[in-house]
């Protein structure tokens, strides 16, 4: 990712300091923002109470930005259409035929479903794709010969996000990218969310999953770690405790932690009022910090 990227700080964002036994809180200040990433498998299972919590935060002055996935729905539609698909190190190998389905599902069905659920809960949301307004600008990943039309983010147009937030809406972003020639790219949702957080200058990215955090075997029991460092993540990848789709998730988290982005927190979306509790400073889930 280029070092001369634009970092956008929203008016009213604050740099609250950490307190012992809690995490930095930005929920109290109007105008505070965070980026939330939610995977496709998690979305379908999230209770209505989660969206009510999200809407209440927005009404209190917090400004969430959502980047979502949709893997299971994409796989289901590809199967119905008889289009083969496979994964390479957690990334879907993407041909033009696969990309047509990815765009249809992510920018269409999934994106609009999230918008409707937020609005039904009393929030205000506006859905868009990363290719709209060249919001997410991309280039081929280094191993494009293996995975096809999968992209790395080179720039996010922060002013578009700021404009949507300024109108009082929650941006709901489908992780597709585009280059200067108009070529579309399938972008891993974790990668896209990390880039959005970095370019808009959000202090925190929240990854909503169906697990309580990064799990490590302690005395024979899988236990959610309260926090992990970069070095510990590398050790867990090497040992195989972090594997498959979790690898791009934590790699994206590490890549976006610089500048204004101080931490990425992985939480279970099924926890009652998980967003409010986290933003209020409760230590919940696993925090990734440099």
Catalytic residue among 40, 123, 130, 151: 40
Give me the count of residues in the chain: 290
pLDDT of residue 241: 87
> What is the chain's pLDDT, residue by residue, as a tens digit (290 residues)?
343 343 333 333 333 333 333 444 443 333 568 999 998 778 878 999 999 999 999 999 999 999 999 988 999 999 999 998 888 877 889 999 999 999 999 999 999 999 999 999 999 999 999 999 999 999 999 999 999 999 999 999 999 999 999 999 999 999 999 999 999 999 989 889 988 998 998 988 999 988 888 888 888 888 888 999 999 999 999 988 888 777 877 887 787 786 677 889 999 999 999 999 999 999 999 999 87
Catalytic residue among 53, 70, 201, 249: 249
Assess if residue 104 is contained within a domain: yes
Assess if residue 8 is contained within a domain: no
pLDDT of residue 39: 83
pLDDT of residue 244: 78
Assess if residue 28 is contained within a domain: no
Catalytic residue among 71, 127, 130, 285: 71
Q: Report helix, strand or coil for 214.
A: coil
Assess if residue 162 is contained within a domain: yes
Assess if residue 62 is contained within a domain: yes
Q: Active-site residue 255, yes or no? A: no
| Residue 222, φ and ψ in degrees, nearest 5 | -70, 120
Q: Active-site residue 40, yes or no? A: yes
| Residue 277: C-alpha distances to residues 22, 37, 231, 269 (Å) | 11, 17, 28, 12
pTM of the model: 0.84
Cβ-proximal residues to 100 (8 Å cutoff; 6+ apart), any chain: none
Assess if residue 218 is contained within a domain: yes
264: domain CATH number? 3.40.1160.10
pLDDT of residue 28: 31
Q: Active-site residue 179, yes or no? A: no
Range of the domain at 150: 33-288
pLDDT of residue 255: 77
Assess if residue 3 is contained within a domain: no
Assess if residue 23 is contained within a domain: no
Strands (E), 168-271: 170-174, 176-178, 184-186, 204-209, 215-218, 221-224, 227-228, 263-268
Q: Active-site residue 249, yes or no? A: yes
DSSP letter at 281 equals: T
Catalytic residue among 53, 130, 190, 269: 190
pLDDT of residue 290: 72
> Token match 């169906």: residue?
210
pLDDT of residue 80: 95
pLDDT of residue 242: 87
Domain tally for the chain? 1
């Amino acid at each position: 990712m280029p070092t001369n990227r634009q970092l956008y700080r929203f008016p009213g964002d604050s740099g609250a300091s950490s307190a012992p036994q809690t995490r930095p809180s930005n929920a109290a200040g109007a105008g505070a923002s965070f980026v939330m990433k939610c995977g496709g498998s998690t979305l379908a299972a999230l209770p209505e109470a989660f969206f009510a919590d999200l809407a209440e935060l927005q009404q209190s002055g917090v400004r969430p930005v959502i980047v979502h996935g949709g893997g299971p729905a994409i796989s289901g539609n590809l199967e119905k259409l008889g289009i083969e698909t496979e994964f390479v190190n957690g990334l879907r190998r993407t041909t033009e035929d696969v990309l047509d389905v990815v765009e249809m599902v992510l920018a269409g069905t999934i994106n609009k479903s999230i918008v409707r659920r937020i609005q039904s809960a009393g929030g205000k949301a506006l859905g868009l794709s990363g290719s709209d307004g060249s919001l997410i600008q991309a280039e081929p990943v280094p191993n494009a010969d293996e995975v096809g039309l999968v992209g790395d983010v080179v720039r996010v147009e922060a002013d578009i996000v700021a404009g949507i937030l300024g109108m009082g809406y929650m941006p709901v972003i489908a992780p597709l990218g585009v280059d200067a020639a108009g070529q579309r790219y399938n972008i891993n949702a974790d990668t896209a969310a990390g880039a959005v957080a970095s370019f808009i200058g959000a202090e925190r990215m929240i990854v909503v999953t169906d697990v309580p955090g990064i799990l490590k075997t302690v005395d024979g029991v899988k236990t959610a770690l309260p926090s992990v460092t970069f070095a510990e993540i590398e050790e867990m990848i090497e040992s195989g405790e972090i594997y498959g789709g979790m690898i791009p998730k934590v790699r994206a988290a590490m890549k976006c932690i610089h500048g204004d982005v101080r931490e990425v927190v992985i939480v279970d979306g099924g926890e009652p009022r998980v967003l409010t509790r986290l933003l209020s400073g409760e230590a919940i889930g696993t925090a990734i910090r440099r």
